[in-house]
Amino acid sequence: MFNKTVLPNGIRIITEALPHSKVVSVGVWIDVGSRDEHDLNSGSAHFVEHMLFKGTGRRSAQEIAREFDVLGGSANAFTSRENTCLHATVMDSNLPILVELFTDLLSDSLFADEEIERERQVILQEIHMVEDMPDDHIHDLFAALLWGMHPLGKTILGSHEIVAAMDSRKLREYVQKYYTTDNIVVAAAGNVEHDAFVALWQKAFDKFGQTADPALARNEPLLLPSSRRIYAKPLEQVHILLGAYGLSIIDADRFAYLLLNVLLGGNMSSRLFQEIREKRGLAYSIYSYTAAYSDSGYLAIYLGVDRESVSESLALIDKEISIFQNTPVSEKELANAKDFVKSGLFLSMENMEAIMTRIARNEMYFDKYIPLAEVIDSIDRVTGEDILRLSSKVLGRQELTITGLGPFEKAGIGWKS
């Protein structure tokens, strides 16, 4: 059973009660991420997320870590381009302790200078780690090329220079601007009683009274002409990412878009995986994925291959994209893709964290609860004609943007459109 309460200050508390469970998954979602930054504070959202665990007026960083460990289950946090989330899954009997711990982190974090300096080194190492992992780093390089100077083109971790200059004042200013009541959703799934859960949060959140400044509203990114850029680096493989602007997370065609990605390169039976890896053995890793935001998004294809196989692999990708735009997908292939997606949804409903995440994202992006049956029905209603129309809309309106990283000269990569 789903329930929702909006506190007088605007904070939304939502729950999905599943009494058969003995655990509860809780997430505090803040509608702020790396796209809510500019060139002078890049990486602030991620830095703040780290610092929330580094000491409050009542607890040291070590005591916070110990208390989470004693609670058992799992606890973590993440920052994306549009959200920050603190989450944990615990035994239902430990729910009051977890809520008290979360409210302490959110309301009384110190952002002490000595802890900032320690965590700065951790984040700088995290930046270096990503840069040393080309199959991760290329996604940031592609985003920068696709979105240009828009904040969506910046990395979530931030730049070395800005992170190195971050201080307590800047982080506190960021929290004051963006950790506002209308940006906060608290979600829980599992053995949770809604009114009792609301009562646990209500007193702690009384001090939260500020709403977001309209001047800080997000700007929709411009769609730039397609472009190509190669980054030469002495690696064993060439890493390639190519793609095009796609749909937002709330687009009416989102279910057809989901299935298009599955058919193209989203699982082991997808066309790209079968053609490039299974039939020809050109790559170990080949897949497609979608990145969807509140007002924009993209569909991309990742490929890791030997330098000598780049041209052949790109030609095969081009061929498969052309087939998608000109030949309707068969009923059997589409049915298999639907079964794959629906099976994943049903399996995720056995996981309390996945349920919590689903209701939270629906609240943040759609401002409502969306029953699973409604999602399944929407998937079932997608037709082959929908896939054909959408593939032309997304993949056929312009040449793809392409980024390459690896051991080749600028002339060593080709693309035939």
Is there a single domain that holds both residue 208 and residue 256?
A: no
- Confidence bin at 133 (pLDDT 50/70/90): very high
| pLDDT higher than 90, residue 127 | yes
| pLDDT higher than 60, residue 213 | yes
Range of the domain at 316: 228-412
Is there a single domain that holds both residue 177 and residue 52?
A: yes
Is there a single domain that holds both residue 208 and residue 249?
A: no
Digit-coded pLDDT (tens) for 139-160: 999 999 999 999 999 999 999 9
117: nearest Cα among 164, 80, 77: 164
Assess contact for 31 and 83: CB atoms under 8 A: yes
The most confident of the ranges 214-218, 252-256, 309-313, 325-329 is: 252-256
- Confidence bin at 415 (pLDDT 50/70/90): very low
Cα–Cα distance measured from residue 122 to residue 221, given in angstroms and rounded to the nearest whole number: 31
Cα–Cα distance measured from residue 311 to residue 315, given in angstroms and rounded to the nearest whole number: 6
Look up the CATH number of the domain holding residue 265.
3.30.830.10
Instruction: Note if 220 is an active site residue.
Output: no
Cα–Cα distance measured from residue 138 to residue 302, given in angstroms and rounded to the nearest whole number: 9
| pLDDT higher than 60, residue 65 | yes
Question: Within 13 Å, how many C-alpha atoms sit on residue 326's CB side?
Answer: 6
Is there a single domain that holds both residue 267 and residue 397?
A: yes
Structure tokens at 76: 């973590």
239: left (phi over 0), alpha (psi -120 to 50) or beta: beta
| pLDDT higher than 90, residue 208 | no
Cα–Cα distance measured from residue 226 to residue 396, given in angstroms and rounded to the nearest whole number: 12
- Confidence bin at 209 (pLDDT 50/70/90): low
Backbone angles phi, psi at 59, to 5 degrees: -135, 140
Assess contact for 93 and 193: CB atoms under 8 A: no
Give the pLDDT score at 205: 80
Q: What value does the CA radius of gyration of the chain take, rounded to a whole number of Å?
A: 23
Is there a single domain that holds both residue 257 and residue 208?
A: no
Structure tokens at 118: 């320690």
Which of 186, 214, 242 is the endpoint of a domain?
A: 214
Is there a single domain that holds both residue 123 and residue 158?
A: yes
Assess contact for 325 and 400: CB atoms under 8 A: no
Q: At 138, which amino acid appears?
A: I
Map residue 189 onto helix, strand or coil.
Answer: strand
Is there a single domain that holds both residue 56 and residue 161?
A: yes
Assess contact for 401 and 243: CB atoms under 8 A: yes
Is there a single domain that holds both residue 210 and residue 232?
A: no
Q: Which helix (H) or strand (E) holds 288?
A: strand 283-292
222 is a domain residue: no
Average pLDDT over residues 125-136: 96
- Confidence bin at 74 (pLDDT 50/70/90): confident
Number of domains in the chain: 2
Handedness of CA 192, 195, 201, 204 (dihedral sign): negative
Q: What percent of the chain lies above the pLDDT cut of 90?
A: 91
Within 299-407, residue ranges assigned H as helices are 310-326, 331-348, 352-366, 372-380, 384-395
380 is a domain residue: yes
334-346 burial, b for 16+ CB within 10 Å, e for fewer?
beebbebbeeeee
180 is a domain residue: yes
Average pLDDT over residues 311-336: 95
Average pLDDT over residues 163-174: 96
Going along 124-254, which residue ranges are E strands? 184-190, 228-232, 238-245
Cα–Cα distance measured from residue 91 to residue 192, given in angstroms and rounded to the nearest whole number: 10
| pLDDT higher than 80, residue 3 | yes
Cα–Cα distance measured from residue 292 to residue 80, given in angstroms and rounded to the nearest whole number: 11
239 is a domain residue: yes
275 is a domain residue: yes
Average pLDDT over residues 272-292: 97
Going along 122-221, which residue ranges are E strands? 184-190
Q: Calculate the alpha carbon distances from 346 to 349, 356, 373, 414, 416 in Å.
A: 5, 14, 10, 42, 40
Cα–Cα distance measured from residue 298 to residue 245, given in angstroms and rounded to the nearest whole number: 4
328 is a domain residue: yes
417 is a domain residue: no
Q: Which helix (H) or strand (E) holds 48?
A: helix 44-51
Give the pLDDT score at 416: 40
Q: Angle formed by the axes of helices 134-147 and 113-131, to 10°?
A: 100
Cα–Cα distance measured from residue 227 to residue 342, given in angstroms and rounded to the nearest whole number: 36
329 is a domain residue: yes
Give the pLDDT score at 411: 41
Which of 214, 245, 264 is the endpoint of a domain?
A: 214
Which of 214, 237, 257 is the endpoint of a domain?
A: 214
- Strand-pairing partners, residue 245, are 298
| pLDDT higher than 60, residue 170 | yes
Residue 136 burial (CB count, 10 A) = 12
Give the pLDDT score at 36: 97
Is there a single domain that holds both residue 210 and residue 110?
A: yes
- Confidence bin at 207 (pLDDT 50/70/90): low
Least confident of 15-19, 351-355, 406-410: 406-410
Is there a single domain that holds both residue 202 and residue 306?
A: no
Average pLDDT, the chain: 94
Among candidate residues 49, 82, 115, 363, the one labeled active-site is 49
Give the pLDDT score at 417: 35
| pLDDT higher than 70, residue 334 | yes
Is there a single domain that holds both residue 69 and residue 149?
A: yes
Assess contact for 260 and 320: CB atoms under 8 A: no
Q: Calculate the alpha carbon distances from 136 to 31, 51, 54 in Å.
A: 24, 24, 27
Is there a single domain that holds both residue 344 and residue 253?
A: yes
Digit-coded pLDDT (tens) for 354-397: 999 999 999 999 999 999 999 999 999 999 999 999 999 999 87
Assess contact for 47 and 163: CB atoms under 8 A: yes
Digit-coded pLDDT (tens) for 240-265: 999 999 999 999 999 999 999 999 99
